[in-house]
Amino acid sequence: MFKVGDRVEVKTKTQTFVGIVMPAPEAEKDLLILKLPTGYNLPIRMNKEVTAKKIGEEKFEGLPTYRPEFKKLPFVSVIATGGTIMSRVDYKTGAVAPLKSAEELLLTVPELHEIVNIKRVHEPFLIASEDMTPAEWKKIAELAAQELNDEEISGVIVTHGTDTLHYTAAALSFMLKNLNKPVALVGGQRSSDRGSFDGALNLICAAQYCKSEIAEVAIVMHGSESDDYCLANRGTKVRKMHTSRRDTFRPVNELPLAKIWPDGKIEILNKNYRKRRDHRAETLVDTRFEPKVALLKVFPGADPEIFESLIEKGYKGIIIEATGLGHVPTSTQNKKMSWISSIKKAVDSGIFVGIAPQTLYGRINLNVYTNQRILEDAGAVGLDDMLPETAYVKLGIILGRTKNPEEAKKLMLTNLSGEINHRLEPETFLY
Amino acid sequence: MDYQKLGLKSGLEIHQQLDTHKLFCECPSEIRTDKPDIIVKRELRPLAGEVGKIDPAALFEKKKRKFYIYEAYSDTTCLVELDEEPPHEINPDALEIGLLIAKMLHCEIPDVIQVMRKTVVDGSNTSGFQRTALIATNGYLETSFGKVRVATVCLEEDSARRTAETPESVTFRLDRLGIPLVEIATEPDCKTPEQVKEAAEKIGSLLRSTGKVIRGIGTIRQDVNVSITGHPRIELKGVQELPQMPKIVEIEVQRQAEAIKSGGKLEGHVRNVKEDLSSKFLRPMPGAARMYPETDIPLVTIDKEKLAKAKLPEALESREKRFVKLGLSADLAKQVVKDVRLPFIESLLTKFQTANPNTLVSTFLSVEGEVKRKTGKEIKFTNEQFESIFDLLDEDKIVKESLLDIFIGLSKGESSSDVAKKFAKLSDAELKKEIEKIKKEHKELQLDKLIGIAMGKLRGKATAEKIIGLLKSKT
């Protein structure tokens, strides 16, 4: 009946309201939401006793346009992909939806222009983190490689939703080979329409990271609950550990690469990183990915038929999130509940079966208990201290590169991008 | 001053904390003075509002360029106050109390309410906004000068409280953040400073009558809007005491009249009331652009049937009259309805029918002070202790003369049953025996001396009237 922005006069039995029509949730057909002059929204159920008429229109002003002024600063490029960091309130669905452009985002963080010049902003797609697939990882990797090989570019910032940010970080870590410069992945846990937008500090620190000597794919986000510093965590050794806190991304099984303050101070916490190299050292990109790869968690009572169904569906590789040091149901009282014969069947038919820890912290060690030796004998491969998510991404990439099971196994056990750490230092636990 | 000629228009905005847990999380509404164990440092950024405008009040704060320090407690604040977790659903108890208050103010309640985010960048909200919902419109309240219309009733979260300030930072404590507040805004219908005061008193009394509001310093805050013909609306914040209200309005009217006389551009703004009751500029008037929907909380449909059935609490004035009918003195009745502990006192009056209500209430109100005077000990008796002692009085097992001694006994850690035994009232036969004994021992003494001895010996075990009566009697 009315469109958003209409100025209307609504008469109920006893009152008259004048206000601007705001979008109502799709499911609420008879609800007219009026923005009153006080700023409050008043939802009114339209029924026989209520009349409304249009008396004017409100022009919605857009945000000012983004015109960065040039300063003699290093260049970075931004790849914007969506997520909370690119979100504002959407009144249609009553939820948070993407900003119209990356320019709008940068407008909300003017400090960035004091740190770097933004050479290009790519917006290959704007999707929520949970909607990412390997196809999007490939696109981001290709754009990143293209930017990294531009001699003027000092580093690349990827803005992304936080839910699956660590999967994308792992994918870029493997897809970008011979990396020459920093790649920072950044998200936000509070949307950019609010004063407490955490993505601002994350973006500022990401810009600082892009000027650093660390040529690694890293997630750069809050290090604490305060807006004081960010951590740069290696893309293969980091995980979202909290549904809502700002400092949700924590390193697992190693220390963060660095602590980064918004003023540019950088404290290296982990000396094991690739150094920035001459731009002539080209970054290569290899985005081949085998889609028939799955990540499966075992749990008490888990029926091996779940696993069997993956064999039937033609999966080429399976990462099992095993319990403890690397267990699956093995010598169960009810023999039908043991996973061993299914795993053996899978391996015998050429499927790679990898074992990663559902404890996240610590290393898989298949030599401690008898049941584990049974698992190893069945052909499953313990994947050291690799995070299950990282192992899943790596397996897709490795099986995209080789169909040879022996070669795949060898590569899965080779440290390609910092995903395997042979020395676990005590202070890395619950960092 | 001729307020009618000046065209005074004044209205109120009253904020009252509700006595329930926080509005958008399960934390208790508890103000603390002990050392906080969580310290977090944050910044806030000015942002465009729903219709693309940046709020002038928000920009003004940001120009000051500050960072904020938040103090919190592991056991009474959670991730919601720290802006580290989305809000939970609206506290149904707070909503119920808010709607009840709206009903008492003859308001109309919408079918659906939508929680809004009101942009606040002075740091007093960790999120950068205050959550607030319009829950009622179009009510009124009666004053002796005429009706004052109630424009709106809102339910909102209280802000964090400022505990320190340096040139670079402001420190806030999160204990207050999220306490449910009901905000009552009247139309500018008050025509004199006295009417403003009366309207504020009426609203205060109405709020207290629910028994569901938090009492004490800082739990109710009242802002006054003032304008005279030719001057835009001014909002006065920080009115502490109701008796000061007429003077504050008067001073503001004078200020506005002088401002008009001296010419120049006049703008509506917010002012802070100082100790001498004059005021100083605080910030520009916030615009409507500062509000946008709280998308983390779904629309709330109001249960109109339940609301229709909800019983309104008895007005304090009516309760005062009822207490007098029950036998309470007029003075005590007046005192009781203003007391924080009204619900408990009321329960005493219904529970104990035999004992004299004046004895019960005056003992309840004053015995702690009397015990302190006698023993020097600061003590708070529990409601259970009062009830157990009043129970004995009601059953005629003790006499009112022994009450102070009994409470002194309790203050020394004795149990109610022990002190009850010690001060048990004597039966008529026992008392008679004791009196006869005293008479026999002191045959030579006059009645007044005898009374002195008997009272000393039997004090707290029988009423004075009875002792004297028996001494006077021949047998």
Range(s) of the domain holding residue A303: 293-412
φ and ψ at residue B118, rounded to 5 degrees: -100, 115
What's A220's domain CATH number? 3.40.50.1170
Which has the closest alpha carbon to A127: A156, A87, A88? A87
Angle at A373 between CA A368 and CA A376, to 5 degrees: 120
Same structural domain for residues A234 and A326? Answer: no
Q: b vs e for A112-150, b when ≥16 Cβ sit within 10 Å of the residue's Cβ?
A: bbebbbbebbbbeebbbbeebebebbbbbbebbbbbbbe
Q: Is the pLDDT of residue B60 over 60?
A: no
Q: Say whether A212 sits in a helix, a strand or coil.
A: coil
Q: What's residue B55's pLDDT?
A: 53
Same structural domain for residues A81 and A220? Answer: yes
Same structural domain for residues B161 and B251? Answer: yes
Nearest chain B residue to A94 by CA distance is B295
The partner residue sitting opposite B44, judged by closest CB among A196, A226, A245, is A196
Nearest chain B residue to A188 by CA distance is B84
A178 part of a folded domain: yes
B388 part of a folded domain: yes
B159 part of a folded domain: yes
Does B47 contact A28 at a Cβ distance shorter than 8 Å?
no
In this prediction, what percent of chain B has a pLDDT beyond 90? 68
Distances (CA, A) of B316 to B217, B339, B363, B376: 20, 11, 22, 35
- Chain B: give the shortest CA distance to residue A19, in Å: 12
Range(s) of the domain holding residue B351: 341-422
A177 part of a folded domain: yes
A88 part of a folded domain: yes
Q: What's residue A65's pLDDT?
A: 53
Nearest chain A residue to B78 by CA distance is A245
Same structural domain for residues A43 and A101? Answer: no
Residue B118 with chain A: CB contacts under 8 Å: 39
Per residue in B74-125, pLDDT tens? 999 999 999 999 999 999 999 999 999 999 999 999 999 999 998 887 899 9
Distance CA B99, CA B307 (A): 8
Question: Which residue out of B55, B69, B83 would a mutagenesis test of the A interface target, given it has the greatest number of A Cβ atoms within 10 Å?
Answer: B83
Q: Are residues A120 and A95 in contact, defined by beta-carbon separation less than 8 angstroms? A: no
Tokens 């009566």 label which residue? Answer: B469
Q: What's residue B425's pLDDT?
A: 82
Domain boundary among B263, B283, B306: B306
Distance CA B137, CA B377 (A): 51
Count the neighbouring beta carbons within 10 Å of the beta carbon of residue B158.
25
Tokens 């005898």 label which residue? Answer: B450
Same structural domain for residues B59 and B148? Answer: yes
Q: Are residues A306 and A295 in contact, defined by beta-carbon separation less than 8 angstroms? A: no
Residue ranges in B16-154 assigned as alpha helix (H): 56-63, 92-104
Q: What's residue B51's pLDDT?
A: 41
The partner residue sitting opposite B40, judged by closest CB among A90, A96, A225, is A225
Does B58 contact A195 at a Cβ distance shorter than 8 Å?
yes
The partner residue sitting opposite B119, judged by closest CB among A195, A224, A225, is A195
B128 part of a folded domain: yes
A21 part of a folded domain: yes
Domain boundary among B407, B422, B437: B422
Domain boundary among A285, A302, A317: A285
Does A195 contact B112 at a Cβ distance shorter than 8 Å?
no
- Chain B: give the shortest CA distance to residue A227, in Å: 5
Tokens 């959550």 label which residue? Answer: B131
Distance CA B318, CA B312 (A): 13
Residue B293 with chain A: CB contacts under 8 Å: 22, 41, 89, 91, 94
Residue B119 with chain A: CB contacts under 8 Å: 195
Tell me what the mean pLDDT of segment B401-426 comes to: 87
Residue scoring higher pLDDT (A7 or B295): A7
Q: Is the pLDDT of residue B251 over 50?
A: yes
- Chain A: give the shortest CA distance to residue B356, in Å: 50
Same structural domain for residues A208 and A299? Answer: no
Same structural domain for residues B29 and B67? Answer: yes
Question: Which residue out of A21, A41, A91 would a mutagenesis test of the B interface target, given it has the greatest number of B Cβ atoms within 10 Å?
Answer: A41
Same structural domain for residues A81 and A39? Answer: no
Tokens 């150094």 label which residue? Answer: A275
Tokens 């014969």 label which residue? Answer: A341
Same structural domain for residues A206 and A319? Answer: no
Q: Are residues B174 and B82 in contact, defined by beta-carbon separation less than 8 angstroms? A: yes
Nearest chain A residue to B50 by CA distance is A89
Does A225 contact B117 at a Cβ distance shorter than 8 Å?
no
Same structural domain for residues A218 and A301? Answer: no
Q: Is the pLDDT of residue B49 over 70?
A: no
Distances (CA, A) of A125 to A136, A148, B21, B179: 8, 20, 44, 42
Q: Is the pLDDT of residue B460 over 80?
A: no
Q: What's residue A89's pLDDT?
A: 64
State the ipTM, two decimals.
Answer: 0.92
Per residue in B23-32, pLDDT tens? 999 999 999 9
Strand A352-357 relative to strand A317-322, pairing: parallel
Strand A381-382 relative to strand A41-45, pairing: unpaired
- Chain A: give the shortest CA distance to residue B117, in Å: 9
Same structural domain for residues B267 and B289? Answer: yes
Q: Is the pLDDT of residue B50 over 50?
A: no
Residue B299 with chain A: CB contacts under 8 Å: 25, 28, 31, 43, 94
Same structural domain for residues B223 and B286? Answer: yes
Q: What's residue A94's pLDDT?
A: 44
The partner residue sitting opposite B47, judged by closest CB among A91, A195, A225, is A195
Residue A189 with chain B: CB contacts under 8 Å: 84
Does A89 contact B134 at a Cβ distance shorter than 8 Å?
no
Residue A90 with chain B: CB contacts under 8 Å: 295
Q: What's residue A96's pLDDT?
A: 57
Rg of chain B taking only CA atoms, in angstroms: 29
Same structural domain for residues A36 and A114? Answer: no
Same structural domain for residues B119 and B101? Answer: yes
- Chain B: give the shortest CA distance to residue A350, in Å: 45
Residue B48 with chain A: CB contacts under 8 Å: 63, 193
B270 part of a folded domain: yes
Same structural domain for residues A166 and A235? Answer: yes
Nearest chain B residue to A89 by CA distance is B295
B316 part of a folded domain: no
Nearest chain B residue to A33 by CA distance is B114
Same structural domain for residues B182 and B237? Answer: yes
Residue A45 with chain B: CB contacts under 8 Å: 111-112
Same structural domain for residues A207 and A176? Answer: yes
Confidence of residue B234 (pLDDT cuts 50, 70, 90): very high
Same structural domain for residues A108 and A137? Answer: yes
Does A63 contact B48 at a Cβ distance shorter than 8 Å?
yes
Tokens 């002796």 label which residue? Answer: B144
Confidence of residue B435 (pLDDT cuts 50, 70, 90): confident
Tell me what the mean pLDDT of segment B439-463 comes to: 82
What's A299's domain CATH number? 3.40.50.40
Tell me what the mean pLDDT of segment B174-186 comes to: 98
Does A89 contact B45 at a Cβ distance shorter than 8 Å?
no
Count of domains for chain A? 3
The partner residue sitting opposite A108, judged by closest CB among B45, B113, B121, is B45
| pLDDT beneath 50: ranges in chain A | 91-95
- Chain A: give the shortest CA distance to residue B44, in Å: 5
Q: Say whether B153 sits in a helix, a strand or coil.
A: strand
Beta-carbon pairs below 8 A across chains A and B: 138
- Chain A: give the shortest CA distance to residue B88, in Å: 13
Which has the closest alpha carbon to B393: B430, B351, B428? B351
Tell me the average pLDDT of chain B.
90
Q: Is the pLDDT of residue B137 over 80?
A: yes
B313 part of a folded domain: no
Same structural domain for residues A114 and A152? Answer: yes
Per residue in B340-365, pLDDT tens? 889 899 999 989 988 899 999 999 99
Same structural domain for residues B194 and B105? Answer: yes
Q: Mind telling me the catalytic residues of A?
A: 84, 162-163, 240
- Chain B: give the shortest CA distance to residue A208, in Å: 19
Which has the closest alpha carbon to A149: A259, A280, A29, A275? A280
Confidence of residue B401 (pLDDT cuts 50, 70, 90): confident
Which has the closest alpha carbon to B161: B14, B12, B30? B30
Residue B458: which residues within 8 A CB-CB, separation 6 or more? Answer: B426, B431, B434, B435, B467
Rg of chain A taking only CA atoms, in angstroms: 26
Distances (CA, A) of A323 to A240, A298, A328: 20, 7, 7
Q: Is the pLDDT of residue B142 over 60?
A: yes
Strand A381-382 relative to strand A352-357, pairing: parallel
Residue B110 with chain A: CB contacts under 8 Å: 42-44
Count of domains for chain B? 3
Q: Is the pLDDT of residue B240 over 50?
A: yes
Does A244 contact B79 at a Cβ distance shorter than 8 Å?
yes
The partner residue sitting opposite A37, judged by closest CB among B40, B52, B288, is B288
The partner residue sitting opposite A244, judged by closest CB among B85, B138, B299, is B85
B60 part of a folded domain: yes
What's A28's domain CATH number? 2.30.30.520
A421 part of a folded domain: no
Nearest chain B residue to A108 by CA distance is B47
Nearest chain A residue to B151 by CA distance is A38
Tell me what the mean pLDDT of segment B286-293 comes to: 71
Same structural domain for residues B356 and B457? Answer: no
Same structural domain for residues B406 and B433? Answer: no
Q: What's residue B52's pLDDT?
A: 46
Distance CA B254, CA A410 (A): 88
B319 part of a folded domain: no
The partner residue sitting opposite B110, judged by closest CB among A44, A89, A197, is A44
Same structural domain for residues B53 and B199? Answer: yes
Q: Is the pLDDT of residue B156 over 60?
A: yes
Q: With 0-12 CB in 10 A as exposed, 13-18 as middle and 19+ as buried, what is A192? A: buried
Confidence of residue B287 (pLDDT cuts 50, 70, 90): low
Distance CA A140, CA A289 (A): 14
The amino acid at residue A370 is T
Residue B45 with chain A: CB contacts under 8 Å: 108, 195-197, 200
Does B154 contact A25 at a Cβ distance shorter than 8 Å?
no
